Amino acid sequence: MTKFTKRLVVAAATLVVAAGAASAQTMKADIPFTFRAGGAVLPAGSYRVELSYDSASVPVLYLYGDAGHHSALARANSPHDPPKTWRANRSAMLAFQCGVSQCSLVEAWGGTERPAYGFSAPRLGRNETARVAVVALRSEKGD
């Protein structure tokens, strides 16, 4: 590989990384219950939520606790149309499937014309009744 080709490859990789970082969307969420996301259990609290894409262009949702002690990342598994009520509100949303003992992140939508994304969650118990808890996201203001 020539020096020029190596430099071209490095420049292209840098542009891909920069484009991925620029496409990240950062929001805030106040989640009033303990929940699971991406295999981690996180306590109730305020979270910075960032929807980005990994190197394979798979959507990834990053959750960072305001206190700085808790974080998780969840890889999306299925893009789909957001629910009509979410589109009508035009507000970004997170949805959690909750049972008696746990809530798990199951859906996220960044708002506007973007697709919503589903996330894997543990199954509830055989006799557990599921309910859905929805948390609105708000734009994070720069500090």
Per DSSP, the residues of 44-107 read: SEEEEEEEEE-TTS-EEEEEEETTSS-EEEEE--EEEPPPHHHHHHT--EEEEEE-SS-EEEEE
In angstroms, the CA 142 to CA 112 distance is: 21
Tens-binned pLDDT, residue by residue, of the chain (143 aa) = 565 434 333 333 333 333 343 346 789 999 999 999 998 999 999 999 998 888 888 889 999 998 778 899 999 988 999 999 998 888 899 999 999 888 999 999 988 778 999 999 888 888 888 899 999 999 876 54
Per the domain annotation, does 11 fall within a domain? no
Per the domain annotation, does 9 fall within a domain? no
Per the domain annotation, does 135 fall within a domain? yes
pLDDT at position 1: 52
Indicate the SS3 state at residue 13.
helix
Per the domain annotation, does 10 fall within a domain? no
Per the domain annotation, does 117 fall within a domain? yes
Write out the two tokens for 29: 């969420």
Write out the two tokens for 38: 């991406």
Per the domain annotation, does 44 fall within a domain? yes
Element holding 136 (H helix, E strand): strand 131-136
Q: Which domain holds residue 128?
A: 24-139
Per the domain annotation, does 1 fall within a domain? no
Tally the domains of the chain: 1
Per the domain annotation, does 13 fall within a domain? no
